[in-house]
Amino acid sequence: MNVEMWVRALKAARAGAEVSQEGLAALIKWSPSTVAAIETGRRRPTMEFAVATDQALGTGGLLAELLKAADQERGPSWFAPWRGYEQQATRLRAFEACLVPGLLQTERYAHAVISAGGLHAPAMVDELVAVRMERQQLLHCEEPPHCVFLLDEAALRRPVGGPAVLDEQLVRLLEVADLPFLRLHVIPLTVGEHVGLGGGFVLAELPDGDRALYLENAARGHVMDDPEMIGLIDRKWDSLLGEALSTGASLDLIRKLKVTP
């Protein structure tokens, strides 16, 4: 489902309830101009809007579910399955050797990463950045997953987007580290070789006890649930965590790397 179909569902639900645009705006306490902008495609609906509209129109959560499905179809098609796992996860463990993980990136940092090399048209870059920023709502939902992020120090030193963008990114890392459900660890350069140099990964634990693994190569990402592969990544995780600095020492290192005080 795309957003245009979602808007059609919204209009149908509003018509069925005999509620005007202005009436809906009053019910959900949003501005009439925002409702109009969403219905004409000039503004993308948010999950907050969808939930409020479901409650106002008595649609039983339908619009929220449809918007969730539409959001999962945004960006590369191969990434859609992982977004489903990511949004359901009760626990996420992620390692990155070269970059700050997408869930923690600032908008300017993400833009620099996605636009590198000119592989995407500007409009596509903007869309992919928007999707990445929307994914980060996961960290601010009512019941966020417990998250542990492991980063190689090299990822914190690479001047993605230039010194100012990197400095802004380091500030963001210090901010998210204050979230009660999130832990951040850095593997210092003094470690030398370690088992994560071959590439990053994310492990998701789901409410039913199942687990899923996300691996990305130069062309695309892959979602896997093979127990043998997950077991291997588990062992890699334990090895990497053993090499990493404590949370406190990791944050001290990030503060030292910042250009601005």
Region of 109 please: left (phi>0), alpha (psi -120 to 50) or beta: alpha
Q: Tell me if residue 97 falls in helix, strand or coil.
A: coil
d(CA 245, CA 248): 8
**Which range is least confidently modeled, 16-25, 74-83, 152-161?**
74-83
Q: Which token pair is 252?
A: 């001290």
User: What are the pLDDT digits (tens) for 137-184?
Assistant: 999 888 999 999 999 999 999 999 999 999 999 999 999 999 999 999
* pTM score over 0.85: no
Instruction: Give the integer Cα–Cα distance in Å for 56 and 13.
Output: 10
Q: What is the pLDDT of residue 83?
A: 81
Mean pLDDT of the chain: 91
Number of neighbouring beta carbons within 10 Å of residue 11? 12
Asked whether residue 260 carries a pLDDT value surpassing 80, the answer given is no
**Alpha carbon separation from 11 to 2, 26, 54 (Å, rounded):** 15, 16, 12
At 149, list the tokens.
């992020």
By the 8 A CB rule, do 93 and 83 touch?
Answer: no
- The answer to whether 149 and 102 are in contact (CB under 8 A) is no
Would the pLDDT of 104 be above 70? yes
Residue 74: the pLDDT is: 65
Task: Output the CA–CA distances (angstroms, integers) from residue 28 to 23, 44, 50, 150, 220, in the order listed.
Answer: 9, 17, 10, 40, 40
How confident is the model at residue 41, as a pLDDT? 78
Structural domains in the chain plus CATH codes? 3-72 (1.10.260.40), 78-257 (3.30.870)
Residue 116 in tokens: 């590198």
pLDDT higher than 60, residue 1: no
Give the pLDDT confidence of 178-216 residue by residue, as tens digits: 999 999 999 999 999 999 999 999 999 999 889 999 998
Question: DSSP assignment of 114-156, as one string?
Answer: HHGGG-S-HHHHHHHHHHHHHHGGGGGSSSPPEEEEEEEHHHH
